[in-house]
Amino acid sequence: MTLLSPLERAVLNRIQYDFPVASDPYAVLADALGASAEAVHAAVLLLRERGIIRRIGGSFDARRLGYVTVLAATRVTPEMIEAVAERINAFPDVTHNYERAGAYNLWFTVISASAARIAQILEAVRQCPGVEVVHALPAERIFKLRVDFQVREDGDA
Amino acid sequence: MLDERDRDIIARLCGDLGEERRPFLAIAEACGVSEEELFARIERYRAQSILRRFGAMIRHQRAGFAANALSVWVIPEAAIAEAGEKIAAIPEVSHCYQRPPLPDWPYTLYAMIHGQSEVECHAVAARIAAMVQVTDYQLLFTRREFKKTSRQYFESPSDMPIA
């Protein structure tokens, strides 16, 4: 658990939702948070260094950019799961890949320029030793898609 | 519609802004536009919902979410819209999608639940179950994270969707 200072907490709470798109973004944040631009900039640099901030950038809607997405439910022999995960991760189209408890034990998301490319990737995964089955589960309806969370105000964050 | 310059700008905005005090200046220069032009285009991406968010991506586990579960629910087609809206309103749920069932997997609603512990995730699921009156569900806890990245768009000629 990592202890955050009040300023770090305030900065994270603000910039995870909205980093100012402005010439001097740290001055805009400073105005909003009641600190100096230098202090806010230094806090962000430190949060990066500690690995709490992975990156600052845009989160785009894959579908609106013309890309096709799918969640793949996979069943893999437990001894082979690491090797299979490594093979899956090698595709730049794969953004998330998790081992989960349950009948399907490996779940990954694919974002590709075409449905044909997704089919190709899933087929390549099916050919990996240890892979029993790969199912494509496209989203039929999206009720919620939120990327990040409020850092809690209480206790260790 | 996105032109070639938009695709170049978006490709760069998918990356990391960097540590500079004026981080947008370098991007504007690299794309051959003024900062003002860059800001105007970013505002347009926002207005068109192409850009969902511009901000810091934080590491959940380091920021205090110790347990993450993909909850899956058996919900009849006719009840999905209402259940989906209700589940989406829960703050501990980050993603909520309808997906097709499989022959051996009847679940049609998927919701990511985040909590400080597995017990906390189970409590959220119990709340959902009571709210949408569904008893057939599972929590698939994250055992290992093998990959979690943001997609880089428009990076190479072979990765362009057909417009």
Chain segment B76-115, per-residue pLDDT in tens: 999 999 999 999 999 999 999 999 999 999 999 999 999 9
Query: What is the architecture of the domain spanning B60-141?
Result: 2-Layer Sandwich (3.30)
Q: Is B84 helix (H, G, I), strand (E, B) or coil?
A: helix
Please give the mean pLDDT across all residues of chain B: 93
Question: According to the model, what pLDDT value does residue B114 have?
Answer: 92
Q: CA-to-CA distance for A149 and A17, rounded, in angstroms?
A: 9
Class at the top of the CATH hierarchy for domain B4-57: mainly alpha
Check whether B162 has a pLDDT greater than 90. Answer: no
| A150/chain B closest Cα distance in angstroms | 9
Check whether A156 has a pLDDT greater than 80. Answer: no
Tell me the angle at which helices A6-15 and A37-49 cross, rounded to the nearest 10 degrees. Answer: 80
In chain B, what are the domain boundaries? 4-57, 60-141
Please give the mean pLDDT across all residues of chain A: 92
* Kind and range of the H or E run holding B112: strand B109-115
Question: According to the model, what pLDDT value does residue A154 have?
Answer: 41
pLDDT band at B60 (very low <50, low <70, confident <90, very high): low
Q: Say whether B151 and A111 touch across the interface (CB within 8 A).
A: yes
| A90 Cβ under 8 Å from any chain B Cβ | no
Check whether A147 has a pLDDT greater than 80. Answer: no
| A36 Cβ under 8 Å from any chain B Cβ | no
pLDDT band at A1 (very low <50, low <70, confident <90, very high): very low
Q: B52: which chain A residues are within 8 Å (Cβ-Cβ)?
A: 59-61, 145, 147
Q: Say whether A140 and B98 touch across the interface (CB within 8 A).
A: yes
Q: Which residues contact B73 (CB under 8 A, 6 or more apart)?
A: B83, B87, B107, B108, B109, B110, B111, B128, B132, B134, B136, B137
Check whether A106 has a pLDDT greater than 70. Answer: yes
